[in-house]
């Protein structure tokens, strides 16, 4: 009997039961959807485009409808709130975060809430995560190397997330947050470059103005000096003749 490579949960097992083959085929379809989504995210050029792409395709690899992603770069934050296809993107400072986001960013710890846990904490959750249809909530920090670059909160309506769901959600969030931080970095470098260019332009203008003033002063000082000398001589002559 031919078997899949150990650890490969996406290749159907030849000779296994029909139920197992159907499950493996379903996982393979979801895995393909995951790869397509990650590839789609990498092609996007703005945070809004990244958010819309994920909102439209995340459900193809995991049963996610409502989600919230906070990305932090230096002291700047990008917050994405999605309810189905509706997406809202906000850019704000770290000290402007809502209580929920500030608390999650301070903790930076994974949490998995069942329906009972959701019910107990619903009053403290943002509206998109407090939906009464929710049966499971996962809050996952997003890492880039040793640094935490974001926090994602995903709500499930159909069933609580299993380990494979959580893995898929973490991969989607990682791809999305990494791309968003790259965009924030590019925006910051562009802004710094524009400021440097503006400062250089102002310095050049000041230097040009300084040379112009010095030139005008030189051109005025010479005839003025001659006129003053002539006036002094005339004054002396008038005094002598008087």
At the topology level, CATH places domain 18-191 in Beta-Lactamase (3.30.450)
Residue pair 134/66 in contact by the 8 Å Cβ criterion? yes
| Cα 14 to Cα 232: distance, rounded to the nearest angstrom | 115
Going by C-beta distance under 8 Å and a sequence separation of 6 or more, which residues neighbour residue 216? none
Rounded average pLDDT per 10-residue block, the chain, 242 residues: 44 65 84 91 91 90 91 90 93 91 93 91 92 93 92 91 91 93 82 77 80 73 76 74 66
Predicted TM-score (pTM) above 0.75? no
| Helical (H) or strand (E) element with 215 | helix 163-241
pLDDT of residue 35: 92
Contact criterion met (CB below 8 Å) for 139 and 156: no
Looking at residue 14, its pLDDT comes to: 55
**pLDDT at residue 3, rounded to an integer:** 42
CA 63, CA 77: separation in Å to the nearest integer? 26
For the chain, the structural domain boundaries read 18-191
- What is the model's pLDDT at position 168? 93
């Amino acid at each position: 009997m031919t078997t899949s490579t150990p650890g490969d949960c996406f290749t159907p097992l030849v000779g296994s039961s029909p139920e197992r083959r159907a499950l493996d085929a379903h996982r393979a379809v979801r895995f393909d959807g995951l790869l397509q989504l990650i590839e789609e995210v990498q092609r996007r050029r703005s945070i809004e485009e990244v958010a819309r792409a994920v909102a439209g395709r995340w459900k193809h690899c995991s049963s996610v409808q409502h989600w919230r992603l906070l990305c932090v770069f230096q002291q700047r934050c990008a917050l994405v709130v999605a309810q189905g296809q509706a997406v809202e993107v906000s850019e704000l400072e770290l000290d402007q975060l809502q209580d929920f986001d500030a608390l999650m960013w301070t903790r930076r710890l994974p949490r998995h809430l069942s329906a009972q846990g959701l019910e107990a904490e619903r009053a403290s959750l943002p509206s998109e995560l407090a939906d009464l249809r929710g049966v499971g909530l996962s809050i996952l920090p997003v890492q880039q190397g040793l640094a935490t670059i974001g926090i994602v909160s995903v709500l499930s309506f159909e069933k609580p997330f299993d380990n494979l769901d959580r893995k898929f959600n973490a991969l989607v969030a990682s791809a999305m947050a990494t791309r968003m931080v790259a965009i924030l970095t590019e925006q910051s470098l562009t802004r710094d470059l524009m400021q440097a260019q503006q400062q250089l332009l102002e310095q050049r203008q000041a230097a040009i103005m300084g040379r112009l003033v010095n030139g005008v002063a030189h051109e005025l000082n010479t005839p003025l000096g001659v006129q003053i000398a002539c006036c002094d001589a005339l004054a002396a002559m008038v005094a002598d003749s008087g």
